[in-house]
Amino acid sequence: MEWTKDEIRFLKTMSDPDKIQGFLDSIDYNPNYECRSPRWVIKKKSAHCFEGALFSAAALQFIGYQPLIVDMKAFNDDDHVIAVFKEGKYWGAVAKSNFTTLRYREPVYKSLRELIMSYFDFYFNIVGDKSLRSYSLPLDLTIYNTRQWTTTDEDLEYIGDKLEIMRHFPVVDKKMIRNLKVASETMLKAGMLGSNAEGLFKPK
């Protein structure tokens, strides 16, 4: 299935990564356990982080970038998936999140790890525990072009399954984890500003 004329007209308004982020920030957070295509996101104006990353990758591909997503694994918290892009040698990211602090990153990071670490202090659960533990290499979604991942009605959980089995690189060791400090009350409030309570992970 190809993009419709209306979808193409809409995607042409997503002319740079910042505009893609602006769209993601304007739509509702989807609290449901499902993974729908970028076409569904455009139609329903709703997405969780995984759907937001897929939409961002599709929109980035439309304007000439590679459609790349990266998985970030967390402890006692939701994992997070972001779409990444490069401007020259530098990495940036576009993302949908229920937390204000886990979204856009300017393309100023020299390496993927440097980009991921920019999220570390802002990646916490609702009780303030800093939860980021590892990240994957980018997954190029063009490998799924034959399954029409951008426009299909099929649930895209198989992409999540692929991310799950990819090698992940740790960002902290056991000693660091023991010494982590809890996010401040101010940071918690800022992080959850405007969040959808139904979609927040409940720590054990």
- Residue 120 Ramachandran class (φ > 0 left, ψ -120 to 50 alpha, else beta): alpha
Residue 44 belongs to some domain of the structure: yes
Residue 204 belongs to some domain of the structure: no
Q: Which residues in the chain come in under a pLDDT of 70?
A: none
Residue 119 belongs to some domain of the structure: yes
What is the domain extent for residue 166? 5-196
Q: Is residue 88 within 8 Å of residue 178, measured between CB atoms?
A: no
How many distinct structural domains can be found in the chain? Answer: 1
Spatial neighbors of 12 by CB under 8 A, at least 6 apart, are none
Please give the share of the chain, as a percent, with pLDDT higher than 90: 99
Q: Is residue 54 within 8 Å of residue 156, measured between CB atoms?
A: yes
Residue 201 belongs to some domain of the structure: no
In order of 4, 37, 160, 176, 204, the CA distances from 91 in angstroms are: 31, 24, 22, 26, 34
Residue 126 belongs to some domain of the structure: yes
pTM tops 0.85, yes or no: yes
**DSSP state for residue 129 in the 8-state scheme:** -
Give bridge partners of residue 91 from the DSSP assignment.
86, 109
Residue 203 belongs to some domain of the structure: no
Structure tokens at 159: 């992409």
Residue 66 belongs to some domain of the structure: yes
56-66, pLDDT tens digit by residue? 999 999 999 99
